[in-house]
Each structure stands twice: as structure tokens, then as C-alpha cells.
Amino acid sequence: MHEERPRLSGNKLAAYNHITKQEKRILVIGDLHAPFELDGYFDFCKETYKNYNCNQVIFIGDIIDNHYSSFHTTDPDGMGGGDELSHAINDVQKWAIEFPVADVLIGNHDRIIMRKAFDSAIPKVWIKSYNDVLGTNWNWQERVVYDGVQFTHGEGGTARTRAKNDMMSSVGGHIHTQAYVEWMVGRKFRIFSMQVGCGVDSKSYAAAYAKNFKKQAIGCGVVLGGHTAINCLMDL
């Protein structure tokens, strides 16, 4: 018995092939910095996932803020470590329930505790995993690649810089004030760089260090089949 195919051509055939081969339609969620997440960002990301018929999720990193243990100056009137972490875990749980399967790119704020444990010569065996602490079942990685597109948190430079250095389409976060998609085209290549926004409440005390910075870009991104990158900014 042979497979019956519709008689299509051109754009209609391309669209049919995309649908039938189940291309990756990835929602890229920006830095959260829980528990200092902006109200409404969660619903915005859920709606974006639905609008673009996404079937995969990547968190670009900095899931939690760890302000209480920052290497920089902390707010003396802020929450203590136990309270901040408890609130962060509660915030993360709603994301884990909505998106139980996801890749997470480990951000500089995520790894603060790991770095301090390392500096204190504490062996890894004594340290809990991110999933154990936050109650998630996510895939925590430094870098993932899908459909020829690399995703990293972005500590090593902007998505634009990484795309040029690696000659590879690149998606990154980390920089809260930038959100763009930029294409680079040559005779034998066509790649894009996408800097996604974030979901941080700029009025929180944890974001006070950036009060004189440019306005934050609140948003997320979508990558379709490795061929299309879309930046989605939240109405504020």
C-alpha cells in the first residue's frame, strides 16, 4: 500500500512538508531571575507558545536570581536566602507544570551557588542538582544545538558576536536591554543571530543595579525549523 500525497506545488507543498515532518517549533523563554519575574510574563510566554504552535521549549538561562548570594552588592533590606529561594521555587513550579519538558541553558545567576561551593573546595557530591533544588525535570545544559542553530545563555558575548565567530545561527539571552534578529548572508551561507529579551521586573530591588541602564526588552523568541527566527515583545 503506497502513501497518498496531495497534489501540491510551490509554497503549498513546502507548507505541507513542514507540517507533516513535524519540524521543531521552539519557544525561547528569556531570563526569568525568579522570584523577581515581571507579572504577566508567564501568560505572555504561554500565549506565544500557542500562537506559533510550538512543540519545544528552551529557557535561555538565569532561571533564578540568587540575589542574596550575589558576587555584587546585595540589598540589606531584601529577603534572606531561605525566603528568596522559597519564593523562587514557587515561581519556577508554575513554569515546570506548564512546560514539564524543556532545555535550560545554565546562566551566570543560576550557577552562583555552584561557583561559591567550588571556591570553598566543596566536592560536587555534596551539591544538589538544579532539578533537585527547584523540583523540575528539565535538561540543564551549557549549550544545545537544534536544526543547525546553537542556543547559549550568552555570557561569552552577544548572539551577533557568537554567530560571526562560529559562522552558525545563534540564539542568546543574558543582555536584558537587547532584542533583535539579524541575518548575515554570503555566497555560500545564510545565518541569523537572535538576542531574546527577558522577563525581569525592572522595579524589583534585585534589578536596582540597572536603574540607569536602557529600558529592558521584555519578550521571548520563536525559532521555526532552524530557518525562521521571530522576536516577540510583550506589550507593557
Which three-class secondary structure state does DSSP give residue 161?
Answer: helix
Which three-class secondary structure state does DSSP give residue 4?
Answer: coil
Q: In what order do the strands lie in the sheet with 228-233?
A: 139-141, 103-105, 56-59, 25-29, 219-224, 228-233
Residues 6+ apart with CB under 8 A from 69: 81, 112, 113, 116
pLDDT value at 90 more than 60? yes
- pLDDT tens-digit series, residues 143-167: 999 999 999 999 989 999 999 999 9
Q: Are 201 and 38 in contact (CB under 8 A)?
A: yes
Report whether the peptide linkage leading into residue 6 is cis, meaning its omega lies within 30 degrees of zero: no
Q: What angle do CA 157, 172, 116 make, to 5 degrees?
A: 70
Topology (CATH) of 25-142+198-233: Purple Acid Phosphatase; chain A, domain 2 (3.60.21)
pLDDT value at 72 more than 90? no
> What pLDDT, on the 0 to 100 scale, is given for residue 94?
98
**In the chain, where are the structural domains located?**
25-142+198-233
Band of residue 17 on the pLDDT scale cut at 50, 70, 90: low
Band of residue 18 on the pLDDT scale cut at 50, 70, 90: low
- pLDDT tens-digit series, residues 97-122: 999 999 999 999 999 999 999 999 99
Average confidence score pLDDT of the chain: 92
Rounded distance, CA 64 to CA 211, Å?
A: 20
Nearest to 179 by CA among 164, 193, 165, 200: 193
> What pLDDT, on the 0 to 100 scale, is given for residue 2?
43
Distances (CA, A) of 234 to 53, 173, 199, 221: 18, 16, 9, 11
Q: Exposure pattern of 68-102 as b/e (b: 16+ CB <10 Å)?
A: beeeeeeeeeebeeeebbeebbebbeebbeebeeb
